[in-house]
Amino acid sequence: MINPMTLADFYKIGHVNQYPEGTEYIYSNFTPRKSRIEGRDKVVLFGLQYFIKEYLIKQFNDNFFNLEKEEVLKKYTRRIGASLGSPVKTDHIEKLHDLGYLPLHIKSIFEGSTGKMGVPLLTIVNTKPEFFWVTNFIESVMSCVLWGCCTSATTAFEFKNLFDKYAGLTSDALDFTDFQGHDFSFRGTFGVEAAMMSGAAHLLSFKGTDTIPAIDFLEEYYNADCEKEMVGVSVPATEHSVMCAGGKFDEKQTFKRLITETYPSGIVSIVSDTWNYWEVLTRILPELKDIILNRNGKIVIRPDSGDPELIICGDPNAQEGTPENYGTIQLLYKVFGGKINSKGYMELNEKIGIIYGDSITQERAASILSNLKEQGVASTNIVFGIGSFTYQYVTRDTFNFAVKSTNAVVKGKSIPIFKDPITDSGMKKSAKGLLLVDGYGDLHNNVSEDLEKGGSLKTVFKDGELIKDYSLTDLRDSIKRCK
């Protein structure tokens, strides 16, 4: 159990004493300042409702407001005193405990929608003058929770746009893109909470996942219900240990047992590169062709090593006519056939498919889909597993998220504040004064109090209460409108 008053950087502890005498209100914002990824100029807001429900309400109620004051002060004094030295100032914390709730007002854009770079996704201000210090005190934990959720949601959003683009060009199965990105990231994320947050962010744009806790997360914090809606789905799938246990020289029998006895119907994904991937495609699958075509379901082949584009699309530098030269999709078409769709592109027989989930980045997926298009192959012949490399090889600085104050009220006087370091490139220059985000998603600085009350930022939390309670459906509908 962690005291919420220590969910902060140490340098936050002394700020209550550092503001000018008579400070009454501090007004701040959370903004993606600049993208370090070419072509990405918008960010999806996600995770705010989780942050509010879990941290601003549950954690503060369970581990602070609902505990005896002496207990929380003792824990706080012990932690701070041991690291910063004594005496430890606690009167401001005692007053907050006496109040019994967080006196904060948070406004944001609609969660699940996109905001432009350099434009606040949310603003936050204290609602009672004596608690001016609370606004920026929660910066550390708020930034910690939100930047990753927003970044993963943005990554998934961009993947979905990519898949929709190529499906629109080459496929009749436009709804397939809801399942074309499958979350494979759980084991590679930095802890279970990170897996849940990122996995839930993935499910704003997709419905396929192997991260089971992400579904629990969305039911707990975003009013989802897996019995009433498709929150996240998957299929039975093997791993290398399963294939190895059957023996290298009985691989065909392992395939046959899996598709006739273990899973006689439905979709099953079978990892196929445990030993000789090309032999699986050119010998084992052809020998099982009749079983596969007559089976009530679909067999999904999963390669898991090598260069994904060459494995899927074929290697033009390989000897002509070899399996490596053909690539997976062309080999599967040779064995199982398929059709030419209304747009003139080849689609595999519905009984066979492919999923590839090793080191798939957006750039690599785009290259694969472009290559397939050039070959006359529909983009929806393949599902991509999106793993931890893509979802976790990011930082807060991928979109330069920052919480910055832009206005203060001192002794009744409103003071626009901003930073503009002369040694910086301009990226760290902050907004100024009270802020308005208009209906076009553009930022207006230093507006009047009346104007600040309008615009696209709407109240989601005030004085310890959640004001707007989004559902997963709300967020999915919102993100669709952003395309």
Question: Domain holding 173: CATH number?
Answer: 3.20.20.70
Looking from the CA of 204 toward its CB, the CA atoms found within 13 Å total: 37
**How many CB atoms lie under 10 A from the CB of residue 310?**
18
Collapsed DSSP state (helix, strand, coil) of residue 340 = strand
Measured over the CA atoms of residue 22, residue 28, residue 34 and residue 36, the dihedral's sign is positive
Q: Do 320 and 208 fall within a single domain?
A: yes
Measured over the CA atoms of residue 354, residue 380, residue 210 and residue 234, the dihedral's sign is negative
Q: Do 416 and 456 fall within a single domain?
A: yes
C-alpha 320/C-alpha 101 separation (Å) is 71
Flag whether 22 is in a domain.
yes
Which of 56, 30, 19, 29 minimizes the C-alpha distance to 130? 19
- Residue 174's φ and ψ, nearest 5 degrees, are -65, -30
C-alpha 399/C-alpha 364 separation (Å) is 21
How far, rounded to the nearest angstrom, does the alpha carbon of residue 317 sit from its chain's CA centroid?
37
Flag whether 157 is in a domain.
no
Q: Is 161 exposed, middle or buried (0-12, 13-18, 19+ CB in 10 A)?
A: middle
Q: Do 350 and 468 fall within a single domain?
A: no
Q: Do 107 and 120 fall within a single domain?
A: yes
Q: How many domains does the chain have?
A: 2
* Domain range for 344: 162-392
Q: In sequence order, which residues have a C-beta less than 8 Å from that of residue 354 and are 6 or more positions away?
A: 300, 301, 302, 303, 312, 328, 329, 332, 348, 381, 382, 383
Q: Do 142 and 193 fall within a single domain?
A: no
Rounded to two decimals, the pTM is 0.96
DSSP secondary-structure letter at 108? E
Q: Do 285 and 235 fall within a single domain?
A: yes
DSSP secondary structure, 369-420, as one string = HHHHHHTTB-GGGEEEEE-HHHHHS--GGGTTEEEEEEEEEETTEEEE----
Q: In sequence order, which residues have a C-beta less than 8 Å from that of residue 387 and are 6 or more positions away?
A: 184, 185, 188, 357, 358, 359, 360
How far, rounded to the nearest angstrom, does the alpha carbon of residue 248 sit from its chain's CA centroid?
39
Q: Do 111 and 22 fall within a single domain?
A: yes
Q: Do 442 and 332 fall within a single domain?
A: no
pLDDT (tens digit per residue) in 62-81: 999 999 999 999 999 999 99
Measured over the CA atoms of residue 321, residue 322, residue 323 and residue 327, the dihedral's sign is negative
Q: Do 213 and 89 fall within a single domain?
A: no
pLDDT of residue 438: 97
392, 412, 432 — which closes off a domain? 392
Q: Do 75 and 131 fall within a single domain?
A: yes
C-alpha 149/C-alpha 132 separation (Å) is 27
Whether the ω angle into residue 416 lies within 30 degrees of 0, i.e. cis, is: no
Q: Do 94 and 51 fall within a single domain?
A: yes
The token pair at 469 is 């309670």
C-alpha 332/C-alpha 292 separation (Å) is 12
Q: What is the pLDDT along the chain (483 residues), one digit of tens a residue?
A: 789 999 999 999 999 999 999 999 999 999 999 999 988 999 999 999 999 999 999 999 999 999 999 999 999 999 999 999 989 999 999 999 999 999 999 999 999 999 999 999 999 999 999 999 999 999 999 999 999 999 999 999 999 999 999 999 999 999 999 999 999 999 999 999 999 999 999 999 999 999 999 999 999 999 999 999 999 999 999 999 999 998 888 999 999 999 999 999 999 999 999 999 999 999 999 999 999 999 999 999 999 999 999 999 999 999 999 999 999 999 999 999 999 999 999 999 999 999 999 889 999 999 999 999 999 999 999 999 999 999 999 999 999 999 999 999 999 999 999 877 778 677 677 899 999 999 999 999 999 999 999 999 999 999 999 999 999 999 999 999 997
C-alpha 246/C-alpha 234 separation (Å) is 24
pLDDT (tens digit per residue) in 100-129: 999 999 999 999 999 999 999 999 999 999
pLDDT of residue 129: 98
392, 414, 429 — which closes off a domain? 392
328, 357, 392 — which closes off a domain? 392
